[in-house]
Each structure stands twice: as structure tokens, then as C-alpha cells.
Amino acid sequence: MIFVKDVMSKDVITAESKETVKIAAEKMAKKNIGCLVITKGKKPYGMVTERDFLRKVIAVKKDYESVKVEDVMHVPLTTVSQEISIIKACELLQQKSFRRLPVTKDGKLIGIVTETDLTRALRSLLTDSMQKFIKDIGK
């Protein structure tokens, strides 16, 4: 069985809830990422995505230099344990219509797993299973 800890990214970029959208967007651009986990006192609190910036700031012509990320982020934050299977994580993404899940341990942010991470892992698992099956048939 493959667990979230096996496929998650450990380098999670965060922003404080009081940061401006401009600063958050600059962080995202610099790291070439599509989301930030928002923290409040070092605890994961929410999430903000490029889509949030587009729909809640740019499209409605708000001033990105003054709007705070806490005004456009998703709350409450749904997180997962590093010990859940990738199958369970996929089910949660589907139920919630999410693309990313922050991973926590004892309330602390330790990683993030994306739809792409999970798809890649499932594809690898399927390929390995098919190769084993073909090998077993040939015996």
C-alpha cells in the first residue's frame, strides 16, 4: 500500500493570513506553484490558489496591493494525515472537489499532496501490478 507520506511534497510554501495578495502572488510566481497554505501563528489555517486571485481579486478589480489573503482564501482548511492511503486521499479530493491537500502531523504542516502526485502514484501502482500479472501469466 502506498501512503500520502510516500508521494507528498515536503517543501510547502506558506503565507501569513495578513499578507497581501500581491506578496502571496509573488511567492507563488517565484516558486512556480499554484497555491499557498495560509498560516495563522504558524498553524495551517486556509489555502489560497491562483484561481482565488483571478476570481476574487482580478475579475472584480480589487486592489491586489491592499487585499489580504485571508479575505480570499478557502477556510476551513481540510488536511490529511501522512498515514492515510493514496486511495483515501483520492476519495477525499473527489468528495470535496479539491486538487490539493495539506498534510499535517500533530497539527503541524509537514507537506502537501496534489491530484497530480496521487495520479502519478496510482499510474505507477497500476503499471507495476500489470507487469506482475503478465509475468505471473507467463509462468
Q: What SS3 class is residue 111?
A: strand
42-93 per-position pLDDT tens digit: 789 999 999 999 999 999 999 999 999 999 999 999 999 999 999 999 999 9
Q: Is the per-residue pLDDT at 139 higher than 70?
A: no
Give the structural domain span for 64: 4-137
Pair 7, 113: CB distance under 8 Å: yes
Pair 19, 69: CB distance under 8 Å: yes
Question: What amino acid occupies position 25?
Answer: A
Query: Rounded distance, CA 113 to CA 103, Å?
Result: 7
CATH number for position 62:
3.10.580.10
Query: Rounded distance, CA 24 to CA 63, Å?
Result: 14
89-136 per-position pLDDT tens digit: 999 999 999 999 999 999 899 999 999 999 999 988 888 788 887 888
Peptide bond into 44 cis (omega under 30): no
Contacts of 56 (CB under 8 A, 6+ apart): 62, 71, 72
Contacts of 51 (CB under 8 A, 6+ apart): none
Task: Give the pairing type, strands 80-81 and 43-49.
Answer: unpaired
What's the pTM?
A: 0.85
Count of structural domains, the chain? 1
